[in-house]
Homo-oligomer: A and B are copies of this chain.
Amino acid sequence: MAKKETIEKTPVDCIPHLKAIQDTQDILSGKWKVLIIGSLAFSKKRYMELQRVVEGIGPKMLSKELQELEINGLVRRTVLESKPVTVEYELTAYGHTIKPVIDAMASWGKQHREKVISEIKGK
């Protein structure tokens, strides 16, 4: 079979690459998911602990984003049988596989903040 005569300039093979990026972006969509994962990466936490650590998040958003993370298999929710009900959240094994993304964000963000500060001082 002959090649198409109208060969598009650089049909850009990077598109599958962009699709993959988009997939990750979808999973991490919303204002709080990366922060939730970032804090669960340290250790499992109860609902209230999460709300305290992730500053600014309200109960509605917290539970919504946790549910989405659970649906995608990144987070496990465990109800503990205690006097007042307690619920524990933790990263699943699969959830841990996304840590490199969050770690990359953390380390770039760290150096970026330092850079911005040094620019201000240097001025």
B-binding residues in A (CB < 8 A)? 10, 12, 14-15, 17-25, 27, 34-35, 38-39, 42, 49, 52-55, 97-98, 100-113
Contacts and interface: CB of A to CB of B under 8 A. Distances in A.
A55 B15 contact: yes
Contacts of A110: 20, 23
Contact of A14 (B14, B39, B107): B39
A22 B103 CA distance: 12
A22 B54 CA distance: 11
A6 B103 CA distance: 32
A28 to B, nearest CB: 8
A108 B28 CA distance: 12
Given A14-B42, A18-B55, 20 more contacts: A12-B39, A12-B52, A15-B55, A18-B54, A20-B107, A20-B110, A20-B112, A21-B34, A21-B102, A21-B109, A23-B112, A23-B113, A24-B108, A24-B109, A24-B112, A97-B108, A97-B111, A100-B104, A101-B104, A103-B104
A30 B102 CA distance: 17
A21 B105 contact: yes
A109 B42 CA distance: 23
